[in-house]
Amino acid sequence: MNLIKLSWKYLTFRPLSTGLNALLLALGLAIMTVLLLIQDQFEKKMTQDAAGIDLVVGAKGSPLQLILSSIYHVDFPTGNIPMEEAEKLAKNRLVKGVIPLALGDNFKGFHIVGTNYDYLKSYKATVSNGILWEKPFEVVLGNEVAVQTGLKVDDVFAGSHGISVGGHEHDQYDFKVKGILEQQGNVLDRLVMTSIESVWLTHDEQGSLDSTAMNGLSSHDHEAFQRPVAQTGFPHSDRPREITSLLISYRSPMAAIQLPRMINSRTVMQAASPAFEMVRLFELLGVGVSLLRGLAFVLLGISGIGIFIALYNSLKERKYDLAILRAIGATRFQLVILIFLEGLSLTLIGALLGVGFGHVFLQVLISSNEQSVVSGIQAWVFLPEELWIIAYALVVGLVASLIPAWTAYKTSIALQLTRA
Amino acid sequence: MLLHTSKLKFTHPDQPTLSFPDIKLDSKEAIVILGQSGSGKTTLLNLLAGLMTPQSGEVLFDGIDLATRSPQRLDQFRGSEIGIVFQKPHLISAISVIENLELANYFTKKQGQNLMVLLTELGIAHKANASVLTLSEGEAQRVSIARSLVNNPKLILADEPTSSLDDEHASAVVELLKSQAEKIGAALVIVTHDQRLKVHFSKFIEVSGT
């Protein structure tokens, strides 16, 4: 028998009160843990995904939507832009590099991105299995896509129109998996990458079947299906074509001032800066985050008061116990330690539960949103800041135990035990 | 001489001062302190146990005045040298019977008696691992007697141990206290208003409070 065991016995002697208080504390800490994990990884991921991209150019609309659809692949594209305009822009002396994107289809919710090899190079992506695409309808899968769909090299599948599950299927021509990327830890993991030509041909096909009148594209060009695709720059085309957006890197800081203004005022396209739009997004989300954080603090405060009341009430019932402990040799100081131990072990349980709950909540959040941005977040990463959460909880326990411990210190044995 | 008090006086707030007759007690001796309610006999027990400090006079235990010890030393001294049986058992209900006894060992860091042997002698061995809440009143009292014995104290103080018992049980409890105190060589002081106890002891004093 010792003080730790005794304090534990006292806690388990009142399982409901102990459980309720630990749970309250755990909920507050779980919210804090989730916020901490999301904030840490989300911002890191956001910056990582946008690395090397200074400007996104696409059809006019919401700049935030353009960024979300072209960099993070979570929102609908704003529309298409003529490739001719994009090519003109690429020749601007302020532009160092351009990566064209053609979006609009998905496979089981994973976006299909028509692009060129530069896109993969900008993320320093390497193929773990197979090779890159060389002809139309050949694709490379992001690691997570491969894992979740079970597709392997040389498997074939049909994409669907639109960027969410359930659009009608483009079943005329199947995509063929040529390679699978290594785990990147960025947006590429969730993408199906192919050539811009593949995206064009898919929709040409659609057009010719749906309405033969569209753009006069009724002729079936079998040759186009065998031609090697462009590996860098814009693909070759003998008729006016459209792409979705353009990822641009600047040649000089001057470009940041001149280029967006020029594009927005003099072309049919719009330019959006990822850095600027992300700051705006975090500002919008910030209200929700501070609300949640406030809620977490309120829960922590309530649980602190709860622990205080539980200790204080149990102390009233236990004044005889405390006096008896003194009578059989416990010093005042040992009683104080006993009360602190009780408060601290209660908060420690709550803190461990809370951090555990936080990770489980996040896991649930991630697995219920497999194709969204949060899916790239790791639920079982442990941050050093989590130790602060536990330390913070222990401080709450310490503060809540102060007055009860003082009361225990002041307990007079004689008055308690021999009063008839 | 194990216990020697001289000219003890104590005043509760707003009450006349109590003065107590001197007590002299050797090891293995037993004494009954008789007194009516309000006579201050419980106050005397508190003074003997060092739970209260006398206004004047002194309590010498093995020749040392209790009042000269620091509060912390006094707590430890009391735990190891004085076993107290309170009027109510006051067991700790969060822990089992045997754990209540172990606790007394823990605070004094003494090995003390073999707990199971002690419980067997008091006829409550079968309740060793039971919750305190399942004990009958008599069993609880015997556990509290056991608790006062575990550290082999030199002095056992009992406060009204028989007040709520019938004649038969009262003498059984008194004999139990006497025989256990004798066995470990401790002096025994019983504080009571119960005149029945006189017949069990050769030595008694009366406290009138004035």
* Contact by Cβ (8 Å): A348, A23: no
Q: Per the CB < 8 Å rule, is B86 touching A417? A: yes
* Residue A334 contacts B where some CB pair is shorter than 8 Å: yes
* Residue A287 contacts B where some CB pair is shorter than 8 Å: no
3-state secondary structure of A115: strand
Q: Which two tokens stand for residue B205?
A: 């004093």
pLDDT confidence of residue B114:
86
Q: Where is pLDDT greater, at A375 or A118? A: A118
Could you write out the three-class secondary structure of chain B? CCEEEEEEEECCCCCCCEECCCCEECCCCEEEEECCCCCCHHHHHHHHCCCCCCCEEEEEECCEEHHHCCHHHHHHHHHHHEEEECCCCCCCCCCEHHHHHHHHHHHHCCCCCCHHHHHHHCCCHHHCCCEHHHCCHHHHHHHHHHHHHCCCCCEEEEECCCCCCCHHHHHHHHHHHHHHHHHHCCEEEEEECCHHHHHHCCCEEECCCC
CA distance A24 to chain B (A): 24
CA distance B203 to chain A (A): 24
Q: Per the CB < 8 Å rule, is B75 touching A323? A: no
Where does the pLDDT of residue A19 fall: very low under 50, low under 70, confident under 90, or very high at 90 and above? Answer: very high
* Residue A320 contacts B where some CB pair is shorter than 8 Å: yes
B87 chain-A contacts, CB cut-off 8 A: 418, 420
Q: Where is pLDDT greater, at A254 or A215? A: A254
pLDDT surpassing 80 at residue A164: no
* Residue A329 contacts B where some CB pair is shorter than 8 Å: yes
Parent domain of B131? 3-206
Write down the H helix ranges in A182-250: 196-210, 222-226
Considering only CB atoms, A324 lies closest to which of B45, B71, B92, namely B92
- pLDDT digits over A173-204, tens only? 789 999 999 988 888 988 999 999 999 988 87
Residue that has been written with the tokens 């009138």 in this structure:
B208
CA distance B24 to chain A (A): 23
Give the Cα separation of A393 and B101 in Å (integer).
34
- pLDDT digits over A378-402, tens only? 888 888 889 998 998 899 899 989 9
Q: Which two tokens stand for residue A92?
A: 């601007």
- pLDDT digits over A38-70, tens only? 888 887 888 888 888 999 999 999 999 999 999
pLDDT confidence of residue A205:
58
Q: Which of A360, A75, A117, A385 is nearest to A232 (CA)?
A: A117
What total number of domains does chain B contain? Answer: 1
Distances in whole angstroms, Cα of residue B177 to Cα of each of A81, A170, A221, B89, B116? 102, 96, 111, 14, 18
pLDDT confidence of residue A210:
46
Which of A322, A328, A333 to mutate to probe the B interface, most B CBs <10 Å? A328
Give the Cα separation of B131 and A206 in Å (integer).
79
- pLDDT digits over A199-251, tens only? 998 887 554 444 433 344 444 556 677 788 888 889 988 888 999 999 999 99
pLDDT confidence of residue A279:
87
- pLDDT digits over A120-134, tens only? 999 999 999 899 999
Q: Per the CB < 8 Å rule, is A327 touching B79? A: yes
Residue A314: closest C-alpha in chain B: B94
**ipTM of predicted assembly, 2 dp:** 0.88
Instruction: Output the tens digit of pLDDT for each of chain B's 210 residues.
Output: 899 998 889 888 888 888 889 999 998 899 999 988 878 888 888 899 888 889 999 999 988 898 898 888 888 888 889 999 988 888 999 999 999 999 988 988 877 788 999 999 888 999 999 999 999 988 999 999 999 999 999 999 999 888 878 888 888 899 999 999 999 999 999 999 888 888 888 888 888 766
CATH code for position B173: 3.40.50.300
pLDDT confidence of residue A352:
94
DSSP lists the bridge partners of residue A269 as A59
CA A49-A51-A52 angle, 5° bins: 135
- Each domain of chain A, given as residue ranges in start order, spans 3-46+292-419, 55-272
CA distance B46 to chain A (A): 6
pLDDT confidence of residue A89:
92
pLDDT confidence of residue A214:
39
Q: What is the largest CA-CA distance in chain A?
A: 108
| Mean of pLDDT values over A291-316 | 86
Q: Which amino acid is at A304?
A: G
DSSP lists the bridge partners of residue A270 as A58
pLDDT confidence of residue A413:
75
Q: Which amino acid is at B31?
A: I
